[in-house]
């Protein structure tokens, strides 16, 4: 959520920044709500001061043995008025906060302006150990045989889309044998790399979260229709907190990314400044009901309702968040470099960034059958946007609380990495070579070969 103080003090700056994201902020609505809030708040504070003054006056009259009945009568009329004002103020704040929950983050000044992905800016590309980084628009050399897409190659090696359709429906996958093991090997390889070399703590998280968690990380209310909602049969047992007080029942959702659960670990917390940065990673399935685009994205594993991802989250001091962003991009790049998969790094423009991001880099991997680059990781600095919604703070050196900065990134999307691996490592005979970095996770297997 945007900083209310910034909105009140620097509204033109906020409006201009949102305009860069192609968002028209309703200035008149904000000014109207803010004027109402200030008016009712002043009335409330005035009445509270009057109540306190009358209470003091009553005490003084009684201490002197004087008649306080008239003042008491005046005082007794205040609680009802105060309650009415406080309810009105709460309603205005609720309306204002509910609206602001739908407004995206402000872009960092370094983010290029643009309308959509066509305006994104390529930063660098990496074509393999031999070529390394290149500054031109070179692409990986074509294979000496006709390349086939991951669906055609994978279906001969245990990637069964028809089985998934029979079990569930479109945009799901079923894997068997060596293909299933390769998928698992990728996730384990990524986790081991991030925990042993990049300093992340591995976590196991719930796959189901409540609505307040999603409000905190920004998926609700804007993206409710992109989520899978969870229903439970039978009677739920009443839930209570540690003090035995009843907990209000909330809607439940399947997570669309473990960014949600990892980031929300600091919800309603004051983190000691000395413990920063927090680096967390997890491998989870992710569930998204988004319809997506037609054409090539409906074929195979590029855009599915269920997919696996190894997520990276950093929770940091505000002064270090942009250094952390560059670091996290490097962590995701390392996965692709060790797998010898060509990729490029792209900085997203203002019109293509996610809702909560202030600055985002995408990593796009080379997909030979499509002769193009496809997103495989997105790494974002959300600054204090999520932390403000989550009430996630730290105590600085002066002992005062400040909002944390949160960052998240795929390290990587497992299914899309499998797609890239199948297509880039396919052989003329229909087999797949296993990258050297993955062979220890495959029991030494160097190649997946179609059954005779």
Annotated binding site: 257-259, 288-290, 311, 375-378, 408, 410
Q: How many helices (H) and strands (E) does the chain have?
A: 13, 17
Measured between alpha carbons, how far is 84 from 357 in angstroms, rounded to an integer?
39
Q: Are 317 and 407 in contact (CB under 8 A)?
A: no
- Comparing C-alpha atoms, which of 22, 105, 111 is closest to residue 362? 111
Mark the binding-site residues for ATP, compressed into ranges: 288-290, 375-378
What are the Cα distances from residue 182, in Å, to 154, 196, 434, 438?
Answer: 11, 21, 9, 8
User: Which residues neighbour 93 within 8 Å (Cβ) at sequence distance 6 or greater?
Assistant: 37
Task: Tell me the β-bridge partners of 246.
Answer: 240
DSSP state of 51: H
Measured between alpha carbons, how far is 218 from 76 in angstroms, rounded to an integer?
44
What are the Cα distances from residue 244, in Å, to 237, 238, 239, 249?
Answer: 14, 11, 9, 15
Which two structure tokens, joined as six digits, stand for 202? 């591995």
Which two structure tokens, joined as six digits, stand for 289? 């009901």
Mark the binding-site residues for L-serine, compressed into ranges: 257-259, 288, 311, 408, 410
3-state helix, strand, coil in the chain (%, to 5): 40, 20, 40
For tokens 């190659």, the residue is 153
Which two structure tokens, joined as six digits, stand for 369? 């059958």
- What end-to-end distance do the CA atoms of the chain give, in Å? 57
Measured between alpha carbons, how far is 23 from 278 in angstroms, rounded to an integer?
32
Which two structure tokens, joined as six digits, stand for 269? 């917390």
SS3 340: coil
DSSP state of 333: H
């Amino acid at each position: 959520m945007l900083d209310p103080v910034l909105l009140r003090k620097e509204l033109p700056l906020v409006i201009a920044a949102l305009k860069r994201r192609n968002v028209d902020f309703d200035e008149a609505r904000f000014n109207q709500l803010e004027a109402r809030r200030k008016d009712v708040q002043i009335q409330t504070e005035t009445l509270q001061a009057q109540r306190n003054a009358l209470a003091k006056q009553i005490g003084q009259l009684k201490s002197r043995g004087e008649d306080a009945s008239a003042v008491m009568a005046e005082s007794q009329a205040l609680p009802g008025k105060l309650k009415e004002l406080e309810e009105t103020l709460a309603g205005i704040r609720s309306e204002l906060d509910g609206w602001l929950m739908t407004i995206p983050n402000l872009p960092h000044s370094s983010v290029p302006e643009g309308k959509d992905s066509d305006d994104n800016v390529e930063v660098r590309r990496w074509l393999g150990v031999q070529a390394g980084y290149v500054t031109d628009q070179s692409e990986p050399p074509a294979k000496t045989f006709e390349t086939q897409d991951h669906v055609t190659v994978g279906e001969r090696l245990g990637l069964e889309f028809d089985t998934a359709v029979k079990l569930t429906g479109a945009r799901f996958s079923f894997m068997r044998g060596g293909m299933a093991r390769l998928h698992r090997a990728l996730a384990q390889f990524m986790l081991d790399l991030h925990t042993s070399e990049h300093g992340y703590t591995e976590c196991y998280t719930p796959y189901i979260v409540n609505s307040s968690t999603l409000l905190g990380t920004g998926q609700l209310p804007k993206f409710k229709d992109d989520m899978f909602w969870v229903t439970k049969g039978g009677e739920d047992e009443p839930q209570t907190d540690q003090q035995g007080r009843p907990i209000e029942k909330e809607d439940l959702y399947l997570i669309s990314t473990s960014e949600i659960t990892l980031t929300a670990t600091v919800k309603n917390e004051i983190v000691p400044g000395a413990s920063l940065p927090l680096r967390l990673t997890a491998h989870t399935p992710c569930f998204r009901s988004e319809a997506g685009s037609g054409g090539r994205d409906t074929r195979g594993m590029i855009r599915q309702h269920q997919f696996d991802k190894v997520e990276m989250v950093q929770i940091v001091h505000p002064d270090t968040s942009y250094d952390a962003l560059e670091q996290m991009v490097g962590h995701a790049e390392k996965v692709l470099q060790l797998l010898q998969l060509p990729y490029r790094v792209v900085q997203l423009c203002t019109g293509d960034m996610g809702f909560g991001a202030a600055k985002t880099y995408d990593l796009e991997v080379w997909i030979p059958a499509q002769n193009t680059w496809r997103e495989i990781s997105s790494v974002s600095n959300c600054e204090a946007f999520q932390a403000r919604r989550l009430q996630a703070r730290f105590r600085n050196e002066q002992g005062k609380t400040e909002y944390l900065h949160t960052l998240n990134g795929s390290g990587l999307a497992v299914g899309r990495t499998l797609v890239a691996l199948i297509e880039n490592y396919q052989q003329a005979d229909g087999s797949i070579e296993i990258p050297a970095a993955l062979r220890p996770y495959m029991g030494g297997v160097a190649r997946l070969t179609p059954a005779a």
